[in-house]
Amino acid sequence: MNGLGGLNKSPNGIVIGLVQLQLPNVVTPGDLRAQTERIVAMVGKARANMATMDLVVFPEYALHGLSMDTNPEIMVSLDGPEVAAFKEACRANRIWGCFSIMEANPGGNPYNSGLIIDDAGELKLYYRKMHPWVPVEPWEPGDLGIPVIEGPKGAKIGLIICHDGMFPEMARECAYKGAEIMIRTAGYTAPIRESWRFTNQSNAFCNLMVTANVCMCGSDGTFDSMGEGMIVNFDGSVIAHATTGRVDEIVTAEVRPDLVREARLHWGVENNIYQLGHRGYTAVKGGAQDCPYTYMHDLAAGQYRVPWEDAVQVVDGTSCGFAAPTRSYGAAQTPPAREAAE
């Protein structure tokens, strides 16, 4: 079904390219401009690399690197020159693109945001990371939910970012809203390699959904990202996987959303996304459609609390050099600075 990475594209196929982008070190506005130009050039490379490619995906932190710097001078807005450059690159190369920005937020810390732009240069998906990788990341928790859009050839596409993919609820929400392809962009480093691999597969299999996943790659002199471009079919089998860690490699594969739709309609055994809400339908008509999960009820009521809650040791970002927050979610405040000791 892979068609030699998309070289032999089938009529119903969508070819995805995952860019294992070299990890940058972005400190100044000049660095930001240079990295924007580099990403634009890589969009062109993706198109030249494979004429059949429908969607090119850049990792989380492709524009800003892994410094976690919240300096307002290098934060980005949707109407700024960086996003405008990405739109023009997609339009000029007639290709869909997925991009990462650290988004300015006047009411709090910046958002870690993901964008999908179509081949006419129009913004189609805008997502803010729901689960920042605490305690390391200072980003404001996302407040837009998980949008699902109609992408190339009508495929339903969702986007989550990095640590989001460690929560099975995130992939389930994508699938529940109709996603046939879920993109997961990341900046992960080597200690997460095995967790990255098996969650990419479980997110696919548990939801009968293709997952397309990619990290930053290489070193910025301090951090080492792992690349690990990985496309997984809806049955959990790996279609493409880069294990060499080669920077700027574009990992490609053809995926078939039509076969996702077919499986969701015709599978009996392991049609888990349907069966979650119709448990035991062989015994009772339509299955039990209750909600037997305590954590779901508690979370919806704002009372989520694990049995070991009072013993949890790491509950803010002070171990990573960030001041303990004083405001509650939804309240506006000037973004806190890093502690002077850092």
Q: Is residue 169 part of a domain?
A: yes
Q: Of 26-40, 89-103, 298-312, 323-337, where does mean pLDDT reach its minimum?
A: 323-337
**Domain of 82: which CATH number?**
3.60.110.10
- Domain count for the chain, please give it: 1
267 is a domain residue: yes
Which amino acid would we find at residue 81?
P
CB 102 within 8 A of CB 26: no
Residue 229 has pLDDT above 70, yes or no: yes
Position 174 pLDDT exceeds 90: yes
* Residue whose pair of structure tokens reads 């006047």 in the numeric block: 106
Give the per-residue pLDDT at 217: 97
Q: Residue 332: its pLDDT value, please?
A: 80
Can you tell me the distance from the alpha carbon of 124 to that of 335, in angstroms, rounded to the nearest whole number? 29
pLDDT tens for residues 91-101?
A: 999 999 999 99
What is the pLDDT at residue 102? 98
Give me the sheet containing 14-19, strands edge to edge.
123-128, 111-117, 96-103, 55-57, 14-19, 250-255
Output the average pLDDT for the chain.
95
pLDDT, residue 1, reads 54
| Residue 231 within a domain | yes
- Reference 90, options 133, 137, 57; nearest CA is 57
Indicate the pLDDT class of residue 338, thresholds 50, 70 and 90.
Answer: very low
CA–CA distance from 128 to each of 51, 144, 164 (Å)?
31, 6, 11
Three-class secondary structure assignment of 90-105:
HHHHCCEEEEEEEECC
pLDDT of 334 reads: 53
- Whether residue 311 lies inside any domain: the answer is no
> For residue 20, is it within any domain?
yes
Q: Does residue 234 lie within any of the structural domains?
A: yes
Position 335 confidence tier, pLDDT thresholds 50, 70, 90: very low
User: How far, in Å, are 16, 64, 110, 317 from residue 337 at the CA level?
Assistant: 38, 18, 12, 12
232 in Cβ contact with 240 (< 8 Å):
no
Give φ, ψ of 260 to 5 degrees: -60, -45
Give pLDDT, residue 244. 87
Confidence of residue 330 (pLDDT cuts 50, 70, 90): confident
In a domain, 252, yes or no: yes
Q: Is the pLDDT of residue 218 over 50?
A: yes
Percent of the chain with pLDDT over 90: 94
Residue-number span of the structural domain to which 205 is assigned: 3-275
pLDDT at position 318, please?
Answer: 97
Contacts of 172 (CB under 8 A, 6+ apart): 206, 207, 273, 276
* Catalytic center residues: 60, 129, 162
Residue 307 maps to a domain: no
